[in-house]
Amino acid sequence: MTGRPGAERSDWTDQDLLTRREAGERIRAEIAETEALLAAAGPARAAERAALERRLAVLRAHPAAASAGPPAA
């Protein structure tokens, strides 16, 4: 123990943070990937489609999804 306040505190707390833009970009990438999986899932895979649709709805509703700006062309 060094006697300094916070000396034992992990420095990962400050180093492992995403900016809102980075978080939004990652969520938008997940949205694109989920949309592709949904498009590839045939009608016979109803349970998989339902799970993908729920995931897509949650991803689209996340506030960070809007912070990445318009999709890259």
Which helix or strand (DSSP H or E) is residue 70 part of? none
15-46 pLDDT, tens digit per residue, is 667 788 888 899 999 999 999 999 999 888 99
pLDDT bin (cut points 50, 70, 90) of residue 6 is: low
pTM of the predicted protein model: 0.66
Residue 28's alpha-carbon distances to 7, 17, 41, in angstroms, are 38, 18, 20
72 φ, ψ (degrees, to nearest 5): -70, 140
Q: Is the pLDDT of residue 2 over 60?
A: no
| Arithmetic mean of pLDDT over the chain | 80
Q: Is the pLDDT of residue 73 over 50?
A: no
